[in-house]
């Protein structure tokens, strides 16, 4: 187990640096293929940033070079921030910290966390980078049980983990997934609603909430496949029909097809109905998860459209 201590780290290059939009690809995306990178999005006017950044620097330096920190001033790098927001990174408020590994976003948190929680966040990132399942042994056991189809056992373990760690977002997300596997959407929502306010906006929990919302919309849309296809055959610029068709395709677990319909709507008119197609696509990414193959492929295609 990799543990971050308060001992003086070995001498070497400072793992903390300032970054900007010109060096982001090199300092963050490319560098994360060798070592996990934390990106601290901050602003001079942000009070909580003045607390978070020094604590984050201390934790990163104590990791002895196993993780790096790149600090981005959002006011000095507005173009970069705009691009990342359009890709689905929640930068509407600061401080926001995104963890990058292997060129992709691995985890995110917002707000000023205490040093102890920062250490746990970085330790989990290091475990992930080492190829291990993040979280405690109970979490790994529960995930395994759920993957093997033993939903009841998984639910019991996740519930036990919540008792031990009442602010563990992955435990709440796991229990909610168990409820969904048992076709108990209301119970899944109850689990999400019961999560402490401190973790209510965690990416794992918001992803499941989006899944539930999309499933409900998809059930209604699936009965109208033919109608949507007929409308598009008559008018390829019927963007409302294309978005509804995408929702139906997603409900049928045809993720890449769903994404392609929305991408086509964006290609034809990216600002239609206040960018409804792009917003729906970002909701898909949130529900599928950042690392899902359909999300990865879709984000690349979206980037090619928006930044060509």
pLDDT band at 131 (very low <50, low <70, confident <90, very high): very low
Dihedral sign computed on CA atoms, order 159, 161, 164, 170: negative
- The mean per-residue pLDDT over the stretch 220-236 comes to 91
Q: Alpha carbon of 53 to those of 41, 105, 278: distances in Å?
A: 9, 20, 32
What pTM did the predictor assign? 0.52
pLDDT at position 1: 39
For the chain, domains (ranges, CATH) are: 16-129 (3.40.30.10), 137-201 (1.25.40.10), 218-306 (1.25.40.10)
At residue 138's C-alpha, the angle toward residues 137 and 144, to 5°, is 90
Q: In whole angstroms, what is the distance from residue 90 CA to residue 16 CA?
A: 23
Q: In whole angstroms, what is the distance from residue 198 CA to residue 120 CA?
A: 15
Q: What is the pLDDT of residues 81-116, one digit of tens each?
A: 998 888 888 888 899 999 999 888 888 998 998 887
More confident residue, 176 or 137: 176
More confident residue, 260 or 131: 260
Beta bridge partners of 38: 69, 99
228 neighbors 212 (Cβ within 8 angstroms): no
pLDDT at position 284: 92
DSSP SS3 for 184:
coil
pLDDT at position 6: 42
**Please, what is the angle between helix 255-268 and helix 272-288, to 10°?**
160
**Lowest mean pLDDT segment, chosen from 58-72, 106-120, 130-144:** 130-144
pLDDT at position 10: 44
Which residue out of 31, 38, 49, 142 is catalytically annotated? Answer: 49
Q: Is 178 a catalytic residue?
A: no
155 neighbors 135 (Cβ within 8 angstroms): no
Containing H/E element for 165? none
Q: Is 49 a catalytic residue?
A: yes
Q: How many CB atoms lie within 10 A of CB 217?
A: 17
pLDDT at position 8: 42
pLDDT band at 137 (very low <50, low <70, confident <90, very high): low
pLDDT band at 12 (very low <50, low <70, confident <90, very high): low
Which residue out of 46, 74, 188, 214 is catalytically annotated? Answer: 46
**Alpha helix positions (H), 46-114:** 47-62, 78-86
28 neighbors 89 (Cβ within 8 angstroms): no
pLDDT at position 248: 92
Cis peptide before 266 (omega within 30 of 0): no
296 neighbors 104 (Cβ within 8 angstroms): yes
57-71, 210-224, 251-265: which has the highest mean pLDDT?
251-265
């Amino acid at each position: 187990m990799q543990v971050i201590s308060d001992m003086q780290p070995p001498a070497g290059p400072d793992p903390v640096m300032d970054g900007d939009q010109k060096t982001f690809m090199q300092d963050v995306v490319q560098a994360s293929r060798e070592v996990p990178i934390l990106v601290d999005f901050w602003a001079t006017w942000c009070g909580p940033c003045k607390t978070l950044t020094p604590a984050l620097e201390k934790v990163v330096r104590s990791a002895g070079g196993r993780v790096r920190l790149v600090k981005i001033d959002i006011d000095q790098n507005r173009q970069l921030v705009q691009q990342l927001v359009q890709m689905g990174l929640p930068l509407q408020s600061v401080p926001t910290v995104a963890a990058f590994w292997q060129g992709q976003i691995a985890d995110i948190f917002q707000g000023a966390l205490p040093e102890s929680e920062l250490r746990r966040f970085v330790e989990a990132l290091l475990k992930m980078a080492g190829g291990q399942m993040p979280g405690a042994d109970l979490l790994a056991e529960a995930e395994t049980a759920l993957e093997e189809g033993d939903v009841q056992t998984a639910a019991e373990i996740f519930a036990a983990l919540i008792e031990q760690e009442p602010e563990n977002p992955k435990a709440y997300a796991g229990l909610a997934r168990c409820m969904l596997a048992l076709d108990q959407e209301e119970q899944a929502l109850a689990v999400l609603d019961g999560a402490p306010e401190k973790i209510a906006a965690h990416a794992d929990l918001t992803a499941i909430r989006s899944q539930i919302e999309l499933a409900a919309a998809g059930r209604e849309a699936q009965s109208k496949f033919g109608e949507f296809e007929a409308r598009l055959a008559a008018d390829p610029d019927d963007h409302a029909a294309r978005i509804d068709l995408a929702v139906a395709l997603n409900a049928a677990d045809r993720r890449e097809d769903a994404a392609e319909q929305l991408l086509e709507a964006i290609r034809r008119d990216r600002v239609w109905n206040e960018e409804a197609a792009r917003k729906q696509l970002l909701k898909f990414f949130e529900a599928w998860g950042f690392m899902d193959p359909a999300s990865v492929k879709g984000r690349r295609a979206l980037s090619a459209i928006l930044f060509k």
